[in-house]
Structure 1
């Protein structure tokens, strides 16, 4: 099952995310009409979550503005000086980390964070400096990764700050916004909901359903029109065995955004597992299109093909997965296994070397240990 974490390569959606979570068993099929109400998480005491002051300006942030932002030379110079100071390594020295979502004050203190964290911090600084600044979602190719058996896909967000003669786009990732990319202005409430969504996604990857539910529910209360948060809440329900609530949450996500392929995929899996083949068939085309752009799904298909002896198909699927996600060591390792079966020992050795170059230390001791390596004759 998939889940969305927004923002980006910056926020896991927050400034975005998508999650694939393992399906649990379902119960008898009941009404699956969408609902904007948030059902309780059965069997759990939900903890309170702290909502940061997104417009907070600490003394250190004020001192930064006082020193670096020129306010007496007109709006253009005013805006430019903030952009320059916030992005110059010799001044703020901000370190981009796509895995870190922090509130604005803490982002400034640590000088690190993802695109959402940076954007929230920059907007707070800009508005306290008297500037007009807003959030902007940028369409980028989905970036998939997997954490603790949860599949995530990140989206991207940046900031626009207005001067008198034009506007500057401030993007901590360093990417340029191509003219062919779709851009969408994001409200403060949605950006803040994306922040809470990211924290919920982090909790879900730890299998902490209490905090995942608490953060997703808080995000929905802040911005109930954000489709992907409903889908993520559906993942929590499903992991808790509340299939009816999961189904309704995913249908709510699709009611808000019929193009939400993650919600469609998760709902499709529920229908398939429950044996509602007619409902599953209605979603099949949308789901298959989405899956073909998901390298982890291609990896899954390749394993099935290899087990069935379809060596060429397995190889082609893995090559497609690597084209989409070249730094996933498991893809290269599986390709090595497949190439051994195909008799291509040179290619298998090269794939195995690449897998070991990319693998974390714990994988080298586990998944890629000598006992698990393909048999590669000299």
Structure 2
């Protein structure tokens, strides 16, 4: 679920689905907090709430499971739960929007990958089914919200069979639960992560989502919760440094960037943001050192090409815009706005057939009602032109 979160001028890591491999231990992370610059936030989500489910849900789940035990075909608890979750057929729906606790995800029957993993782990705990959390090293999936670029990673889990003295296991295989099964079939590398890391991911996600919304005090409170769970969690350190920059605390931000880089010297998110800080202070020699590494990251960002296309389009350089839009689509063929850009550029060049085709693709990809109405209106105008 979600996300490396990146800013157009700053790169933030939100975690939904990624983790860090720290080389240094932080013994007292509280020394890096600056409470005096923030107001206390109220009604925060607490760690114990992440995996908590109502008594009604747990009771119903146990009852449904016990009923299945009365049938002739005996099913292991982990397999029964996998069927109950029914990830591949829509038991719970993947929606890559906001991060939720397990109870909220259950109520909504939907969530991003991190939210759905929390829910699945919570259901597993009710039935005493063991779990393994996995970070999937998928290629980044890019999104954009306002001035923020978001790079979505991925996380899933495995349900483990429980072997007891009076139970003979016909199959000892763990069952992987993945709400984006098309990814898991591609053989991407997997890395086991512990429950504490998953919890740190959750709070960093919430913090980054709050930061996007301009709720800085709330973002700070949730970053603290993330780092109190896992002080060496580099994504949360990166988010904290970005928040400090937003508050004008450049010295404190630099301290955090250096701390993050001392643990992961090649973390591109921290490097990018540190480079932005150096450039803003005209420390160009230091900036040049990190910029060499960052150039490759820039050309992998599909929104780099999209922004170039947009600029060319508004400069009435439509053929150039087409070239850049096509490159953006090559990097991220799942983004509706890239196809909408292609549609506009083709229309401007007089290729009405391709303009309509790409607008239809944009319409098929968008999940936003406002965009759907917008695209449908433009598509109708094209067809009646």
Match of 2:291 among 281, 284, 297: 284
1:321 Cα deviation from its structure 2 partner: 0.9
Partners of 1:330 and 1:355 within 8 A in 2: no
Deviations 1:89-145 (A, max 9, x none): 99x932222213221233223322221112112212223322221211111121111
CA distance in 2, matches of 1:20, 1:174: 29
Match of 2:140 among 136, 139, 142: 142
- 1:127/1:296 CA distance change after superposition, 3 Å: same
Partners of 2:58 and 2:126 within 8 A in 1: no
Where does structure 2 lack aligned partners over 5 or more consecutive residues? 11-24, 164-171, 379-384
Secondary structure at 1:290's aligned position in 2?
Answer: helix
CA distance in 2, matches of 1:258, 1:62: 48
Partners of 1:228 and 1:260 within 8 A in 2: no
CA distance in 1, matches of 2:339, 2:75: 50
- What is the match of residue 79 of structure 2? 80
Partners of 2:133 and 2:156 within 8 A in 1: yes
- 1:200/1:134 CA distance change after superposition, 3 Å: same
Deviates more, 1:241-250 or 1:198-207: 241-250
- What is the match of residue 267 of structure 2? 260
- 1:108/1:65 CA distance change after superposition, 3 Å: farther
1:178 Cα deviation from its structure 2 partner: 3.8
- 1:155/1:356 CA distance change after superposition, 3 Å: closer
Aligned residue pair count:
347
- What is the match of residue 99 of structure 2? 101
- What is the match of residue 162 of structure 1? 160
Partners of 1:87 and 1:172 within 8 A in 2: no
Partners of 1:291 and 1:298 within 8 A in 2: no
- What is the match of residue 166 of structure 2? none
Secondary structure at 1:155's aligned position in 2?
Answer: strand
Partners of 2:337 and 2:362 within 8 A in 1: no
CA distance in 1, matches of 2:376, 2:288: 39
Partners of 1:356 and 1:368 within 8 A in 2: no
- What is the match of residue 56 of structure 1? 52
Are 2:121 and 1:114 aligned? no
Deviates more, 1:177-186 or 1:151-160: 177-186
CA distance in 2, matches of 1:307, 1:275: 31
Match of 1:44 among 38, 42, 46: 38
CA distance in 1, matches of 2:138, 2:204: 19
CA distance in 2, matches of 1:230, 1:132: 30
Secondary structure at 2:254's aligned position in 1?
Answer: helix
- What is the match of residue 7 of structure 2? 20
1:241 Cα deviation from its structure 2 partner: 1.9
Q: Which structure shows the higher helix fraction? A: 2
- 1:82/1:312 CA distance change after superposition, 3 Å: same
1:227 Cα deviation from its structure 2 partner: 1.4
Partners of 2:124 and 2:131 within 8 A in 1: yes
Deviations 1:328-357 (A, max 9, x none): 45434544565678x564477448745873
- 1:275/1:314 CA distance change after superposition, 3 Å: farther
Q: Normalising by structure 1, what TM-score? A: 0.78
Q: Normalising by structure 2, what TM-score? A: 0.76
CA distance in 2, matches of 1:280, 1:75: 63
1:238 Cα deviation from its structure 2 partner: 1.8
Match of 2:306 among 295, 299, 307: 299
CA distance in 1, matches of 2:33, 2:375: 39
- 1:21/1:46 CA distance change after superposition, 3 Å: farther
- 1:132/1:362 CA distance change after superposition, 3 Å: closer
Partners of 2:309 and 2:324 within 8 A in 1: yes
- 1:128/1:210 CA distance change after superposition, 3 Å: same
CA distance in 2, matches of 1:160, 1:328: 30
